[in-house]
Chain A
Amino acid sequence: MNQQNKDALTIRDLTLYYGASRAVYDVNFVLKPLELGCLLGPSGCGKSTLLRAIAGFQPLTSGEIWLDGNLLTGPSVSVSAERRGVGMMFQDIALFPHLTVDQNIGFGLEDWPESKAEQRIHELLDLIGLHNLGSRYPHQLSGGQQQRVALARSMAPKPKLLLLDEPFSGLDTEMRGRLASEVRAILKSDGICSLLVTHDQREAFDFADRIAVMSDGCIRQFDTPFNLYHEPKSPFVAHFVGPGEMVDAKVSDPRSVLSPLGILTNDTDLGFETGSDVKIFLRPDDLVHDDDSSYTAILVEKHFRGAHHLYQVRLDNGVVLGCFAPSHHDHKIGERIGVSLDIEHLVVFPQ
């Protein structure tokens, strides 16, 4: 109970069925006040269902949802959506087309004293950088502007928790990244605890303090973006948050494995029995292109990413790995190039 008072959002043992099919199960996680969380997963993994359950649009099969020490949903309790103090930003923006920007933002402020409501609207318009567009109608705004107004509208009544349901999915890639960071800054400055749902790993990294990676209806790992990338707890998470290759290896001592790249040693114990077969996960940043290296590999594929190259190289033993190279190192396919290892932490999974 005490713990729940300190946390903003607590979800305990949440399970949700659609008829006979299990959409979400065994979900447990906690968001701290002011924290920006994210549910990341492929489409159909249950993340939007979970979000709608938190908003109160989807009844639970079992489990509890707590917000600021109040039970929202639990056995024999279900606070209706409008009494939860939970705001939501929708995938299709869902601005009221018959109301101006001002009226949209002020929609949830009907009970506020007029002067306070006006002040809040102004404050939010300034925050989203649209202070001179208050009297426009939604259809007179660009996509990005509509998105920001939708954000301001959902923030206006100062919800205890703001849910964002793939709000950037309708935008182009560049705009998406920019808005995700922008929204993050706005939410941080207004001090609203939020939960974003997305299938886009970059958007999640741009936005969130901590990310829950979901697949097949449950949370696989809930961690910071850095840890998800560098210390994934399962092959699914490893693959989902960024590129990389699995390579067969054998544990040679508690801290080392014997791999096609030689013996690799970790700073800490790997937790696997010596002699057992494992897989190690190598990201392109673990293998670096280095012209001076005596260790070479054949370049088989290359993707120019502007600031750098993403190469695929084939080692002499046939293993193909990703490898980052500086932008100016433009080698030809088939060329033999020098590579060296730069591994800070070994990611090891059982066979």
Chain B
Amino acid sequence: MAVTGKDRISYFRVFRLNGFLVATFGVALCVALPLCVVLSFLATTSSDVWQHLVDTLLLRYISNTLLLSFYVTIGVVCIGVPTAWVIAFYRFPGRQTLSWLLLLPMAYPAYILAYTYTGVLEYAGPVLTWMRASNMPDWVMSPFLNIRSLLGAALMLSLVLYPYVYLLARAAFLQQSANLMEAGYTLGQSRLSVFRRIVIPMARPAIAAGALLAIMETVADFGTVQFFGVQTFTTGIIRTYYGFGDTPGAAQLSSVLLGFVAILVILERHSRNRIRYYSDQMRRLDQAAQHLTGFSAFAAQVLCALPILFGFLIPTTLLVNWTIFDAQLQSLWQLAWNSFALAGGSSFLIVGVALLIAYANRLFPTRSLSYMTTFIGLGYALPGVVVAIGILIPFGIFDAWISELLTSWAVKPQLWLSGTLFAVIFAYLVRFLAVANGNVFSGLSRIRPSIDQSGRLLGLSQTGVLTRIHIPLMQGSVLTAILVCFVDILKELPATLILRPFDFNTLAVRAYELAGQERLIDASPASLCIVLVGLVPVILLNRSIGKL
């Protein structure tokens, strides 16, 4: 029987579909690997160490992680919501500038803020020296002395994570139709009552989503809690793995942490869904904003300036000061080169993979592809420590197996995968592919199918559509994706620390090492580098919001 034209076309389509499917499936497998490895240990019988953990430390890990999350939630909501409210509902001198300066603390990884504040607040540091000299009572000094505590860690995390809440709450406030508030007034409600019954309840899902993102970062944090000696899941996992040498124990701890993260992810998705219903594109609040003058304007300025002062200006001033006058750091250039080359190469790779997945989804939108894409998006929620452990274990097994195989061929045993840059980049791919995906997908979705179709109707070939329409239009979002990945990788600490090759240092790792040796001042040049580069995407973010 002859093959009809129709048959051939469908055969061709199925073939190509499989090509993209296989590639995406491969990436999904990469993301799934650490997850599956960690979870697979749930089935193994618990070791003595695990029993010891359950008896002694597990409860402390759980309570510390929950308590830290609780304090950070309070912190980010108390900073993020009032500032968003003031920026959205009032007009006062400096509002425009403050509205984007409030994003600056996002440039800081929490651990760098922790090193900086510890450096300035230590017993022999300038603040306490001055306090002692001016005979301050103990109860004034003690909070400063006790910065290295759970509360201190919560404060550091809140100062860098509140922008999540601020951004989402501000958008939620601004997107509420002014008519909704006016509807409240015409139904006899006072200003306060409208705020209580309409404005806040409608912004609640956005505030919740922001707080949940902050909590996800909090439970994944390693650098801050490790430095402050707060025993949480992340520090517990490292301690179990290295201190006790107990792989199953570390994996099982990771599984518990993953369970916690999974709950957060579900809650966050739920909040996001509600935000969609609550945003209204009609008349914006802009016209309804109230002008402030005199003392009330000053109060609004102070309210918005405080988080910027403590989250950015003070620590940056300190870092700059130490870098110029006090720090002793050799080989900063080497460190910077290592970091930038690693982050640059990885982010190119990651964004390339993201492009592949995005085009797969566009050209062959099938349900299995979209499921896989959603799954890949979960990588961002995986704490770096868990990713690292989940990679270390299978790579170690692979190395042992291949060495055994090769020894029989008289090849000297060595590490093929673990302790290589490949392992580090693999971890980055798992963790940051979701970030690149987000940017690339949103860029691609802006090119509506009708644009492709009109290009084809105007005589462009498929390649022509790609080169003359897609590439020019996608440039911006691809560059943003690369940049955001780059900075995220630069700030990443635990996965790099665990997986890096022996003697390979990055800025983040070196800052961590120096801080661990109490050489906080010497850590400042590396820290400053990370923060300054971290500023770039923050400024970009602000610009892309401004366009809305």
Contacts and interface: CB of A to CB of B under 8 A. Distances in A.
Nearest to B201: A98
A229 interface: no
A81 interface: yes
Interface stretch (A61-69, A82-90, A235-243, A280-288): A82-90
A148 interface: no
B283 interface: yes
A216 to B, nearest CB: 23
B389 interface: no
A107 B185 contact: no
Contact of A108 (B182, B188, B202, B277): B188
Interface in B182-202: 182-190, 193, 197-198, 201-202
B183 A90 contact: yes
Given A86-B186, A107-B184, A108-B188, A92 B177 contact: yes
B202 A97 contact: yes
Contacts of A92: 177, 179, 280, 282-283
Nearest to B200: A98
B186 A81 contact: yes
Given A92-B280, A92-B282, A154 B202 contact: no
Interface in B150-196: 177, 179-180, 182-190, 193
Contacts of B179: 90-92, 94
B244 to A, nearest CB: 49
Nearest to B202: A98
A55 B182 contact: yes
A139 B277 contact: yes
Given A88-B182, A96-B180, A107 B187 contact: yes
B187 A137 contact: no
A98 B189 contact: no
Main secondary structure of the interface of A (DSSP, over half): loop
A157 interface: yes
B278 interface: yes
Interface string B454-471: 000000000000000000
A153 B187 contact: yes
Contacts of A55: 182, 186
Nearest to A86: B186
A56 B190 CA distance: 13
Contact of A98 (B177, B278, B282): B278
Main secondary structure of the interface of B (DSSP, over half): helix
A115 B487 CA distance: 60
Interface in A69-103: 80-88, 90-92, 94, 96-98
Contact of A82 (B177, B190, B198): B190
A58 B397 CA distance: 74
Given A107-B197, A137-B277, A139-B277, A94 B188 contact: no
A137 B277 CA distance: 10
A29 interface: no
Given A55-B182, A88-B182, A90-B183, A97 B188 contact: no
Contacts of A85: 188
A289 B202 CA distance: 60
A154 B280 contact: no
Interface residues on A, range: 20 to 34
A226 interface: no
A227 B283 CA distance: 36
Given A82-B190, A94-B177, A88 B202 contact: no
Contacts of B188: 82-83, 85, 108, 111, 157
Given A88-B186, A107-B187, A108-B188, A96 B202 contact: yes
Contact of B182 (A57, A97, A110, A157): A57
Contact of A94 (B180, B204, B277): B180
A154 B187 CA distance: 7
Contacts of A91: 179, 282
A297 B494 CA distance: 91
Contacts, number: 76
Nearest to A162: B186
Contacts of B177: 92, 94
Contacts of A94: 177, 179-180, 182-183, 280, 282
A139 B202 CA distance: 14
Interface string A142-153: 000000000001
Contacts of A154: 183, 186-187
Interface string B271-309: 000000110101100000000000000000000000000
A107 B201 CA distance: 14
B282 A97 contact: no
A155 to B, nearest CB: 10
A88 B178 CA distance: 13
Interface in A157-195: 157, 159, 163
A157 B187 contact: yes
B189 A82 contact: yes
A56 B177 CA distance: 18
A156 B187 CA distance: 9
Interface string B201-238: 11010000000000000000000000000000000000
A80 B189 CA distance: 10
A98 B177 CA distance: 13
B276 to A, nearest CB: 9
A87 B186 contact: yes
Nearest to B198: A96
B182 A90 contact: yes
A108 B189 contact: yes
A109 to B, nearest CB: 9
Interface in A91-130: 91-92, 94, 96-98, 107-108, 110-111
B187 A97 contact: no
B283 A82 contact: no
Contacts of A159: 186
A57 B182 CA distance: 8
A59 to B, nearest CB: 14
A153 B188 CA distance: 12
A88 B183 contact: yes
Contacts of B187: 82, 87, 107-108, 153-154, 156-157
Nearest to B191: A82
A98 B279 CA distance: 11
A92 B175 CA distance: 14
Nearest to B182: A57
A97 B280 contact: yes
A154 B278 CA distance: 20
A82 B278 contact: no
A260 B16 CA distance: 75
Contacts of B282: 91-92, 94
Contacts of A84: 186
Contacts of A156: 187
A261 to B, nearest CB: 50
A159 B283 CA distance: 24
Contacts of B280: 92, 94, 97
**Shortest beta-carbon contacts, A-B, top 5:** A108-B187, A92-B282, A81-B185, A94-B179, A88-B186
23 contacts: A56-B185, A82-B187, A82-B188, A82-B189, A82-B190, A83-B188, A85-B188, A87-B187, A88-B182, A88-B183, A90-B179, A91-B179, A92-B177, A94-B177, A94-B183, A98-B204, A107-B187, A108-B189, A110-B193, A139-B277, A153-B187, A154-B183, A154-B186
Given A82-B184, A98-B204, A110-B193, 18 more contacts: A55-B186, A57-B182, A57-B185, A80-B185, A82-B188, A82-B189, A90-B179, A92-B282, A94-B177, A94-B179, A94-B183, A96-B183, A98-B202, A107-B184, A107-B187, A111-B188, A154-B183, A154-B186
Interface of B: 177, 179-180, 182-190, 193, 197-198, 201-202, 204, 277-278, 280, 282-283
